[in-house]
Structure 1
Amino acid sequence: MPRTPTREPATGEGDATSTQAADGTPVRRLRRAERREQILDAATRAFARAGYTATGLDDIAAEAALTRAMLYRHFDSKADLYRAVLDRACARLDESTGADDFGDDAIPALLRAAAADPDGFRLLFRYAAREPDFRELIDSITAASREVAHRNLARHIPAGPWLDWAANLIPAFTLEAVIAWLDAGRPDPGQAADRISQAVHGVMAAAQTER
């Protein structure tokens, strides 16, 4: 995925000790990488709360307890920052799920990833898809998910329109099921993966049924 360009050296302190936040409180010195992560954390929360269009850099600066000028030391624009937030969420998802199959740990891994970064998960799969400037990222994830689903489901479902149907439906359904679980307050975490798996297997059974 594209990386956000930086305009300062990657090592050392990038923020001066005399800098103050918007409310006048001193800003603690952090190394550049740590400051970047702080900004990404704050931006993820702000974007997940109000969406891309309604969230300004001033909102993110306030969320991070920084000045707007400090944001510009790390990111060129709001779009640049939003892309970095999405890229980080994708990287975290890849680290958590990784496997290119529909094994027994696939849905538990997805739930763990969502629970670890709920705002990032929602941004990727609920909000970013509504933003035309960032839709291509979600489209690429969706296309890859369908390809993986089709390849794995072909072991259980005969080739044809119902295999295509299941390969399109199951990734979308699974993501919506995980988001709905987050929205419901993450109930019954020990059994949530089994519940979602039962529903997925119901779709597979429907696709396998010969009429």
Structure 2
Amino acid sequence: MSDPDHEATQAPVRRLRRAERREQILDAATRAFARAGYAATGLDDVAAEADLTRAMLYRHFDSKADLYRAVLDRACVRLVESTGADDFDDGSIPGLLRAAAADPDGFRLLFRYAAREPDFRDLIDSITAASREVAHRNLARRIPAGPWLDWAVNLIPSMTVEAVIAWLDAGRPDPDQAAERISQAVHGVMAAAHP
């Protein structure tokens, strides 16, 4: 028997548009994959996190790998939107911190977890190569060609990302000063690489 009082207080169910539902699934998948990693997270975990059925996931993604790739691709797009893709300037480290703060799970998935997943390693390898290219373009003006330039080109991008992850893991202390502190570390590497 139906309860008229209960029916009167229930909000009408609003169906999400396809793009909104996809974003809901990507948000839930990002949280689920960040919690347990790719291998340990099943589509049932993602469906539960999104409060959807597994069948609903398959309406948007062909497989778990397809969903994970979409999560990583979205994290990449957000990263590029926050930092730019072609050059390093005074806004790059603050932009990286903003990207990490806005999507900490996506940032960790991209830089901590994807690197360990052979099927998705290509994405982080392309980000790393692009970061090193930008670093080389900027550092070659300041550091003479040779092994110390190569050392700095390899170290600065990875150190910067690790510094941001450590900042996230520490609870995001002093957000206004974090970019300056990371910049000091970058300048320390540059000074050490210069003869």
What TM-score bracket applies, with the shorter chain setting the length? over 0.9
Distance 2:87 2:126 in 1: 17
Q: Per the alignment, do residues 158 and 31 of structure 1 end up closer, same or farther by CA in structure 2, a change over 3 Å counting? A: same
Query: Residue 50 of structure 1 aligns with which residue?
Result: 36
Q: Number of residue pairs matched?
A: 184
| Paired amino acid for 2:121 | R
Distance 1:194 1:27 in 2: 48
Query: Residue 65 of structure 1 aligns with which residue?
Result: 51
Distance 1:161 1:47 in 2: 38
Which of 108, 121, 131 aligns to 1:122? It is 108
Q: 1:92-133: per-residue Cα shift (whole Å, max 9, x none)? A: 111111152221111001000100010000000000100000
Which of 154, 167, 172 aligns to 1:181? It is 167
- Aligned counterparts, 1:54-203, within 5 A: 54-203=40-189
Query: Residue 17 of structure 2 aligns with which residue?
Result: 31
TM-score by length of structure 1 reads 0.85
Distance 2:181 2:57 in 1: 42
Secondary structure of the corresponding residue to residue 124 of structure 1: helix
Give ranges in structure 2 of 5+ residues lacking alignment: 1-11
Q: 1:41-64: per-residue Cα shift (whole Å, max 9, x none)? A: 000000000000000000000000
Distance 1:156 1:106 in 2: 18
| Paired amino acid for 2:63 | S
Shift of residue 198, structure 1, vs aligned partner: 0.4
Query: Residue 207 of structure 1 aligns with which residue?
Result: 193
TM-score by length of structure 2 reads 0.92
- Displaced runs of 4 or more, over 2 A: 99-102
Q: Does the 8 Å contact 1:99/1:106 carry over to 2? A: no
| Paired amino acid for 1:109 | G
* CA RMSD, Structure 1 to Structure 2 (Å): 1.1
Distance 1:156 1:128 in 2: 32
Query: Residue 19 of structure 1 aligns with which residue?
Result: none
Distance 1:28 1:42 in 2: 19
Give ranges in structure 1 of 5+ residues lacking alignment: 1-25
| Paired amino acid for 2:43 | L
Distance 1:137 1:78 in 2: 17
- Aligned-pair identity in percent equals 90
Distance 2:41 2:116 in 1: 15
